[in-house]
Amino acid sequence: MKQTIRKRFTTLAGVASLGLAATAMAVPAETLDEVMARRGLSQKDLLAAAKTYTPTGGRDEFIVFSSGGQSGQIMVYGVPSMRILKYVSVFTPEPWQGYGFDEESKAVLAGGIIDGRELTWGDTHHPALSETEGAPDGEFLFINDKSAPRVGVISLDDFETKQIVVNPILQSEHGGTFVTPNTEYVLEAAQYPGILGRGFAPLSDFNEKFRGAITYWKFNREKGRIEPENSFSIELPPYTQDLTDAGKLVSYGWSFTNSFCAERYVGGIESGRPPFEAGCSQADTDFLHIINWKKAEEVYKAGKVTMINDHPVISLETAVEEGLVYLVAEPKSPHGVDVSPDGKFIVVGGKLDVTASVYSFEKIQAAIEAKNFSGVDPYGLPIIKMEDALHVQVPLGLGPLHNQYDSKPCVIYTSLYVDSQIAKWDYCEGKVLDKISIHYNVGHLVAMEGESVKPAGHYLISLNKLAIDRFNPVGPLHPQNHQLIDITGDKMELLYDMPVPLGEPHYAAAIAADKLKPLVRYRYGTNSRTGGKHEGATRPGSERIERDGTTVNVYMTAIRSHFTPEIIEVNEGDTVNFIITNSERAEDETHGFSVSTYNVNLSLEPGKTSTASIVADKPGIFSFYCTEFCSALHLEMEGYLVIKPKGYVEEAAAVSEGQAYTQADYDKQVQTNVDTQAVIDSVVGYITARNYKDFPEVASLVEDAVDQLNFAADAKAKSEAAAAESDWQNATLWAGQWWQYQVKAADIGLRAKTYLDEHGAVVVE
């Protein structure tokens, strides 16, 4: 039977290879013209492709951090290729990264528990990159949750979420996150008015008791954390605050927050009243809040605050007394608010208007200094007359929403939601320069470093709300559509559509790729969520199982392709903590760890230590294994968690194995190892004869290979010791392990050799 199968395979292979040879002769590769004809591509398409296509191994010029909307995550992609590189989980558990599955990240998520409720999602809107002197510096990223007022802090060292803080006073927010020019503060402004501190008052008290606010979260760059104890808020009227931006250069020290529903309408469609949408859009204007945060910081430090939920809040009364907040009218249902790169202008869109309004910071300051106000609002805040603050108003089209700046002076791009267009215009002169149609209904847009003091130009991305007919249909829930636009010329050119199947990405932030310097591996035994050394970090050789009452701590290591220990016996009812260190140094050698039916998955990148905790409440045999395909013997990277039933009495017995090995088996394995060593020696010879030390990637591969060869030497010694005692069983198995390490070393060595070949290494004397 066996014989027949083998014969059939041989025959099949023969036929297949003959067939291939015949096909290769008959069909030459298609020419460019033929491909264009077959796919219906124009010259313009080809140009767009040439501008975006990134050949294998190529890199992008810019990296975009996009909100993941309702997914509670952040999406990272490259420009111009539009290739997605990563999802960073922030408010939502995500198993691939172990986020919300290991104890270290659970501690981060626990920071987001709000009023005792554990949330498993977030509505992310506005990512903000940390800035130095008004330009993104590539160190940190922040993002807000609109639904439950929270802010996440992500380190760009490893693209992991490090902290979630809960706003102590708001019940809803939207005007976050935006940073001040040196990331002194991370700004988070309210959306729907509520009772500060999340208390109760009847809606009939809306004008008297409901409030908005803005929180200035103090950021400690050295620690890479927000410091709630050094943060403060300013109480604001119950206008529905919307977006925020921080002043820069000439307007440094100020921040701007627009609003809608300054009508303070309270709906009630169920009792026959017109809905919110009618009442909140009736008036012709709403209010832009102009806030002196530098002065507010002094007022806060002087202790002129009210404590709400242990959080210092500057009251409206104090804000009026100290001259911290001013209002200016802005057109119908405004949305974006974006300070120009030079800090001189503030541009605001109006969802139900056709114009964008450009306010002059200089004029605003002049009005404040001259106390030239048209009056005060019902809460005592001074109102600057619109005409006294405006530089220019420009009709752009229907529904101007958000703005981004170009590297060319005075050039700005504004999304037109209703028109499904982007307008390019000059905000100094107040004239429209170009328009382009997008598909469809753009919300935010992002230009490269387009909110920095020094925008980078090149590309603009339209973050569209609707995709409608752009992609292959996938059911009623469509992907979002990010459209890449070339803005280098006078006319905007649409280059590429990228479907986003994650959530609604409201906003994105872009940075030059070379500003990012992420880690390749962690310092050995790092708790990535704190950045410090993990107290359970374990070196190879000191793995152990420690019991303390009913708690069992398993100090493990993971390396290609085994866990140590691999058989773990516990009793029903024990709490088991698997504290695992990935002892690899090699780039991209991540291991996973899952335990059957216990809802565990870890992601262990090189050097990282993570903990999986379970309560062994069900006795039985539970296999654990590595969930990342890390090596040829990844499937063998396995073990057993043996949970013994209560009252189980052990009977001593030898482990019964399926195979018994003889001296002949041992000799055969040793011969294989000797042959393998010859291959390794030749690869080592090839590498060391070249200037491999000039290539950091190769140097670290060589380091890793040397590690593996040391492990091989150790296994070889064990094998030989067993052979000396004629213990052929262990001698053969250890010889097999010795070979495993050799194979890994050879694999790494070949990778290094290929790299050297492809990167023009030269022979050294």
Look at residues 607, 609, 606 and name the one whose alpha carbon lies nearest to residue 578: 609
Rounded to 10°, the helix 663-688/696-724 angle is 160
* The entry of ligand K7E, ligand CUA, none that residue 626 binds, CB within 5 to 8 Å by partner kind: ligand CUA
Site string for ligand K7E, 601-640 (x = CB under 6 A): ----------------------------------------
Site string for ligand K7E, 444-463 (x = CB under 6 A): x-------------------
Q: What is the C-alpha separation between 212 and 193, in angstroms, rounded? A: 5
Which strands form 638-644's sheet, in the order they lie side by side? 567-571, 638-644, 620-625, 591-595, 602-604
The one of ligand K7E, ligand CUA, none whose footprint includes residue 637, by CB under 5 to 8 A per kind, is ligand CUA
Indicate the residue among 109 and 401 with the shorter CB distance to ligand K7E: 401
Q: How far is the CB of 275 from ligand K7E (least distance, A)?
A: 20
CA distance 516 to 78: 12
Q: Which is nearer to ligand CUA, 35 or 635 (CB)?
A: 635
381 to 420: interface string for ligand K7E, x by CB under 6 A:
--------------------xx------------------
Asked if 628 touches ligand CUA (CB under 6 A), the answer is: yes
User: Which CB, 53 or 629, lies closer to ligand CUA?
Assistant: 629
The whole-angstrom separation of Cα 498 and Cα 471 is: 9
Annotate 451-508 with three-state secondary structure: CCCCCCEEEEEEEECCCCCCCCCCCCCCCEEEEEEECCCCCCEEEEEEEECCCCCCCE
CB of 563 to ligand CUA, least distance (A): 8
Closest CB to ligand CUA among residues 92, 557: 557
Provide the CA 489 distance to its chain's centre, in angstroms.
32
The reply on whether position 630 binds ligand CUA by CB under 6 A is yes
Q: Which of 150, 162, 174, 529 binds ligand K7E (CB under 6 A)?
A: 174
CB of 632 to ligand CUA, least distance (A): 10
Any contact of residue 351 with ligand K7E (CB under 6 A)? no
Helix 696-724 and helix 728-758, axial crossing angle in degrees, nearest 10:
160
Q: Tell me which residue has its CB nearest to ligand K7E.
A: 443
Q: Does 150 bind ligand K7E (CB under 6 A)?
A: no
| Phi, then psi, of 356 in degrees rounded to 5 | -105, 145
Structure tokens, 117: 């409720």
d(CA 452, CA 4): 71
Catalogue the E-assigned strands of 566-651.
Answer: 567-571, 575-582, 591-595, 602-604, 609-615, 620-625, 638-644
Q: Please compute, for residue 451, the number of CA atoms within 13 A of its CA located in the half-sphere on the CB side.
A: 31
How far apart are alpha carbons 262 and 334 in whole angstroms?
11
- Give Cβ neighbours of residue 673 (< 8 Å, ≥ 6 apart): 716, 735, 738, 739, 742
Q: Tell which positions 110-129 bind ligand K7E, by CB under 6 A.
A: 125-126
Structure tokens at 45: 């398409």
Q: Between residues 90 and 401, which has the closer beta carbon with respect to ligand K7E?
A: 401
Q: From residue 488, how far is each of 93, 296, 447, 457 by CA, in Å?
A: 40, 41, 11, 7
- Give the shortest CB-616-to-ligand CUA separation in angstroms: 23
Query: Does 507 participate in binding ligand K7E (rule CB under 6 A)?
Result: yes
Letters for 561-580 (x = contact with ligand CUA by CB under 6 A, - = none) are x-------------------
- Considering the complex, state which of residue 89 and residue 594 has its C-beta at the smaller distance from ligand CUA: 594
Helices 663-688 and 728-758 cross at an angle (nearest 10°) of 20
Nearest approach, Cβ of residue 307 and ligand K7E (Å): 30
The binder of 126, among ligand K7E, ligand CUA, none, by C-beta within 5 to 8 A per type, is ligand K7E
Of the residues 150, 225, 248, 335, which one makes contact with ligand K7E according to CB under 6 A: 335
CA separation for the pair 654, 646 (Å, rounded): 23
Does position 585 interact with ligand CUA (CB under 6 A)? The reply is no
506 contacts which partner out of ligand K7E, ligand CUA, none, CB within 5 to 8 A by kind?
Answer: ligand K7E
Among left, alpha and beta (phi > 0; psi -120 to 50; other), residue 510 is beta
Residue 171 interacts, among ligand CUA, ligand K7E, none and using kind-specific CB cut-offs from 5 to 8 Å, with none
Tokens matching residue 229: 């104890």
φ, ψ (nearest 5 deg) of residue 466:
-120, 145
Q: Which of 480, 479, 485, 478 lies closest to 462 in space, CA to CA?
A: 485
Residue 401's binding partner, choosing from ligand CUA, ligand K7E, none, with beta-carbon cut-off 5 to 8 A by kind?
ligand K7E
Of the residues 125, 211, 225, 591, which one makes contact with ligand CUA according to CB under 6 A: 591
Residue 178 makes contact with ligand K7E by CB under 6 A: no
- Closest distance of CB 714 from ligand CUA, Å: 20
Q: What angle do CA 566, 560, 688 make, to 5 degrees?
A: 150
Residues 636-675 that bind ligand CUA (CB under 6 A): 637
Altogether, the residues listed in the chain come to a count of: 765
CB of 191 to ligand K7E, least distance (A): 9
Would you say 389 or 630 has its CB closer to ligand CUA? Answer: 630
Which of 209, 634, 668, 718 touches ligand CUA (CB under 6 A)? 634
Q: CA Rg, the chain, in Å?
A: 32
Of the listed pieces 152-160, 399-407, 531-539, 625-633, which binds ligand CUA according to CB under 6 A?
A: 625-633
Which of 401, 436 has the CB closer to ligand K7E? 401
Under 8 Å between Cβ of 647 and 613: no
CB of 621 to ligand CUA, least distance (A): 21
Q: What is the DSSP string of 121-134?
A: ---B---EEEEETT
- Cβ neighbors of 263 (< 8 A, separation 6 or more) are 279, 280, 282, 283
Is 506 among the residues that bind ligand K7E (CB under 6 A)? yes
Report in angstroms how near the CB of residue 460 gets to ligand K7E at its nearest. 15
Q: How far apart are CA 116 and CA 568, in angstroms?
A: 35
Q: Which residues bind ligand K7E (CB under 6 A)?
A: 125-126, 174, 243, 335, 401-402, 443-444, 506-507
Q: Which residues bind ligand CUA (CB under 6 A)?
A: 561, 591, 626, 628-630, 634, 637
